[in-house]
Every structure is written in C-alpha cells, then in structure tokens.
C-alpha cells in the first residue's frame, strides 16, 4: 500500500469560504501548525491572483519548515498564449514554491461554455502548461477540475484530458469533485476505470455539497489514491471542502495508513481550534474527532458503560486526537453522571450516599424549570458543594437595583446599577454604569468585591447567551442566561434562570465569581 500524502489547501481553497479572511501573518502561522502535524504539502495560495498571496510566498521563504512543502496554485495557460508568455504561469514559477498545482478543464461542457474553445485546443492547453512547468518546478500536480461530472457526461473526453497531463509527465493527477455532487458508490467505480487507463499516481479533491466529501476521499484512498487534498475544519466555498480533521484520523486509525505519527495526531484538536481562532470562527462543538461534543456523554446508561469500558460508546480513544471524554449533566443523567462529575471536580461522593440522589433529583427538578448544566459546569460544581455542605460563602449580596433611563428620544438609554454586598463583617455599597443593565450590574458587583478579592480583575466575560424558554407566554416567558467566563488559567460556564433577564444574569454572574474564588487556591481571604 502506497503512503498517502496529505495536501492542505486551507490557505487557498479554505479562504474562499464565506466570512473567512486571513492576513498574511495568519497564513504563515497556520503553515507552521500544519507543518508540525505532518502535512506533506501546504497550498499557500494563487500568487497571480492577489497581492496577499504574492506576499505569502515571499514571506514563507524566510520561515523554516521541518516537514511540509509549499505549493503554489494556478491555472493552465490562456488560449492563444504560449506558456512562457502567460503571466499566470510565469508568476507561479517566480514564486519559487516546492511544488506547483494547476487546474484545467475536464468537462466538455465547461470547455465549450466557459473557455469557448474547441475540445482539442483544451487538450493542448493542459499539455503545454504542464510540460513547461515540469521544466521549471521541482514537482507539478494537475487538478482535473470537475473530473467526475466530466466523466459522467463524456467519459472518453474526460480520460483524454488526463492522458494529456500524463503525457506531460506530471507527478500526480488529482481527480476533483468540484461541484461536490458525486456519490461514494459512483466515485469508486469511476476511479477503478481511470486506473485501468492512467498509470500516473492519482490524487483526490472533493467538496462537501452532498455531505460526502470525507466519505469520497476515504473511498478514493481505498481505490489506491495516493494524495488527499482537503482543508482544516472543512473550510471552503459553498458547503466546504473535505475535512482533514476527519480524514486524517480515519486514515491513521481506521485504514492503518501511516500518513502522520501518533504524536502528531495528538495535536489535531489543537490545530483545529487554532485555525478556528485565526479565522475568527467559533469552533463547531459537534465536529467529529475534535469537537467538544465528539466524546461527550449525557445519558446515564452511556456514562455508566464508558466508565467500565470506554469503547462501549466511543469509537476511538479521544486522547489519540488530543480530545477528552466529557460527562454531561442534564435531566437524562443517572447516578453515574453525578459520580463521574464529582470525580472530575475531586469531590468525594459515594453511589449509595443519599446526597448523590438529592443532587440528581435537584438537577432534574431544576432542568424542568429551564436550567441547563451542559454548558454550565461551574454552576453544577457549586450546586454539588452546596449539597455536601462544603460550599464556602465568600460574600453575600444584601440587595441590588438596576435603572435604565432614556433621557432624550435621540440618545441611547443610560444603565446604572447599585449593589450592597457584605464581606465578613464589612458592608460595601457601590454603583456603576454599563452598556445595558447586565453590564452595569456586572461592573457594580466587581467594583464592590475587587477591593476584597483583587484577583477578580483577572476574570473576563467571554460569552453571554440568552434563550427564551418555550412557554407560550411571549414577553412574560422565562429566560435562561448562559455566561462563559475565563482567566489566564481556564474558562468556565455558569447559568441562571428567571422570568426576569436581569435576575437570570445576576444568578449566572454570582456563580461565575463564586467559582473563581473557590478554584483560586492562592486567593487572599479578606481581613476581618
């Protein structure tokens, strides 16, 4: 079995996704991360298309990569222009990449309607461009654009385009499912026929418009494909490209392809989240292998089973891809969930302890009222400590008031909060303004407590979500507020539920602060 080479096109095809734009500096940083995980080829962009890609190829020459080769992307020459005079071809060579990839037309429909040239002229474009590049670049790959659609429309001509590339002695011919509509069973049969007629090594480049990009890529490998193209997190135009975060572990763990090392595979989740961060996207928690929910267990039966044998409900060990098993707490929880979370928080609980059943009953009753602890594990830890009597009360809120005032029709409302807290034997009464009532309350609460607990200044509110609970009561409906907070050491979630949005937010804010004070072992207790 030939070693499958991984070809990443996040920096080119991935940036064609809606709402994604990467700076040159971002692209260089991602290239280093791709190199660390063992990607063989990194497609940096199309140097003839925009200044940003030109700058990338210039800057990447000054970077030291330990493993990956940098590929430049472009197209075949224009009609009636020889390769040495074609600006696109010349720019590819001037970029001095380790490899060059160009695409050409395979589908006769595109040749006639997009290029508006004869079928024979298109074959000449492919051959001339590739032959010229082979004389000026270390490695040359040919992306047969729309190959599968072209083959289904006119198989004889589609194969002729591949033969033109083969005659030019390219290093790999990549079969592209550009519209993403090919089914796995079709793809496998087409590749079998191609291999009977083409001896050049083959690659695969699929799009996800039919949710088959990963499956098609793996089917292609099963048929002997030796290069797999894709993007991190499946970023790409329309519905995206083949997701390398799913393909790589499937190749390594399921198909026994030694494409990267086990140590490199453990960096996969970190790579996924790194690319999400630089693209300014929230990670997809339900993403296979690398998502937060990929190995999260909610049902009590599941949790009980995985504690004995993880493989009962996990198809791989999450640590292999840098992920972890998570136990969720909800109204579906059983005793095993509670015990698992207690162990995670280093809280001693016994399955026969009446407190365990009290906690379970309390959770189910609270979730029936609208609470949700799946994204609010800090609130759940506080709930357990209260039930066990180990919860430490660092402060108490005597009362608060929030005022929203709009003084003029053309001005923004003004929000102000006043709060009275008691720490030890001392009462602190403060006020603060904010961008809305919740922000004002948060500012006032912090202002009152930070003089006693200075390290609360480290806490940042990272996310704030409001959900109207379905009760058919319109504006009188109950509200659930989920708050994600963090400091330099980690992140945590808290929850509050009320028919008043300020009160729900207050509950979540109080849990946030109490969690910080409990987890921070170095906190200085206020002097009495």
Give all domains of the chain, ordered by start, each with its CATH number.
5-260 (3.20.20.70), 296-387 (no CATH), 395-452 (3.30.160)
d(CA 237, CA 13): 7
Secondary structure (3-state) at 70: strand
* Residue 335 reports pLDDT greater than 60: no
d(CA 205, CA 340): 43
* Residue 342 reports pLDDT greater than 70: no
Contact 311, 297 (CB under 8 A): no
Average pLDDT over residues 317-324: 90
The bridge status of strand 426-434 relative to strand 414-423 is antiparallel
pLDDT, tens only, 79-98: 989 999 999 999 999 999 99
Does the pTM surpass 0.85? The reply is no
Residue 481 has, within 13 A of its CA and on its CB side, a CA count of: 23
Which DSSP category does 136 fall into?
T
Query: In sequence order, what are the beta bridge partners of 416?
Result: 403, 433
pLDDT, tens only, 487-503: 887 788 899 999 899 99
Contact 249, 222 (CB under 8 A): no
pLDDT, tens only, 129-177: 999 999 999 999 999 999 999 999 999 999 999 999 999 999 999 999 9
Average pLDDT over residues 54-60: 94
Lowest mean pLDDT segment, chosen from 58-72, 361-375, 474-488? 361-375
d(CA 73, CA 45): 6
Picking from 145, 135, 204, 149, the residue whose alpha carbon sits closest to that of residue 172 is: 204
- pLDDT value for 427: 94
Tokens of 488: 């330099």
């Amino acid at each position: 079995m030939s070693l499958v080479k991984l070809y990443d096109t996040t920096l080119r095809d991935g940036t064609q996704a809606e709402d994604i734009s990467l700076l040159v500096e971002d692209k260089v940083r991602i290239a280093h991360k791709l190199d660390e995980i063992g990607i063989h080829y990194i497609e940096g962009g199309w140097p003839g298309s925009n200044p940003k890609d030109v700058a990338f190829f210039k800057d990447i020459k000054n970077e030291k990569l330990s493993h990956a080769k940098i590929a430049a992307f472009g197209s075949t020459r224009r009609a009636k222009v020889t390769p040495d005079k074609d600006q696109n071809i010349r720019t590819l060579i001037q970029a001095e990449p380790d490899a060059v990839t160009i695409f050409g037309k395979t589908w006769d429909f595109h040749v006639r309607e997009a290029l508006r040239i004869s079928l024979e002229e298109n074959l000449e474009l492919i051959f001339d461009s590739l032959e010229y590049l082979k004389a000026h670049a270390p490695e040359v790959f040919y992306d047969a654009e729309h190959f599968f659609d072209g083959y289904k429309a006119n198989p004889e001509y589609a194969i002729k385009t591949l033969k033109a590339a083969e005659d030019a002695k390219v290093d790999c011919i990549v079969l592209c499912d550009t519209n993403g509509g090919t089914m796995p069973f079709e793809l496998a049969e087409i590749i079998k026929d191609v291999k009977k007629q083409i001896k050049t090594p083959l690659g695969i480049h699929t799009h996800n418009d039919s949710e088959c990009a990963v499956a098609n890529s793996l089917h292609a490998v099963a048929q002997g494909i030796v290069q797999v193209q894709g993007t991190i997190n499946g970023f790409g135009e329309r519905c995206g490209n083949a997701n390398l975060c799913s393909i790589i572990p499937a190749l390594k763990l399921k198909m026994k392809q030694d494409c990267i090392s086990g140590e490199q595979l453990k960096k996969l989740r970190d790579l996924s989240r790194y690319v999400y961060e630089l693209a300014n996207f929230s990670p997809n928690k339900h993403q296979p292998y690398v998502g937060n929910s990929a190995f999260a267990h909610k049902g009590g039966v599941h949790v009980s089973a995985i504690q004995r044998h993880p493989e009962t409900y996990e198809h791989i060990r999450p640590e292999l891809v840098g992920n972890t098993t998570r136990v969720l707490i909800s109204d579906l929880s059983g005793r095993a969930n509670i015990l698992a979370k207690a162990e995670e928080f280093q809280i001693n609980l016994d399955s026969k302890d009446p407190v365990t059943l009290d906690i379970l009953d309390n959770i189910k009753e609270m979730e029936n009222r609208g609470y949700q602890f799946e994204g609010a594990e800090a609130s759940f830890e506080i709930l357990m400590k209260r039930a066990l009597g180990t919860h430490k009360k660092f402060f108490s809120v005597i009362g608060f008031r929030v005022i929203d005032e709009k003084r003029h029709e053309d001005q923004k409302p003004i929000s102000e909060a006043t709060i009275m807290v008691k720490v030890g034997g001392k009462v602190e009464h403060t006020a603060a303004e904010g961008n809305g009532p919740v922000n004002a309350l948060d500012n006032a609460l912090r202002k009152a407590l930070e003089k006693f607990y200075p390290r609360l200044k480290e806490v940042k509110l990272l996310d704030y979500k409001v959900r109207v609970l379905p009760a058919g009561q319109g504006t009188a409906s109950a509200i659930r507020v989920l708050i994600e907070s963090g400091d330099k050491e980690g992140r945590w979630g808290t929850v509050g539920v009320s028919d008043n949005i300020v009160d729900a937010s207050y509950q979540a804010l109080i849990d946030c602060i109490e969690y910080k004070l409990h987890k921070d072992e170095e906190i200085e207790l206020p002097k009495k």
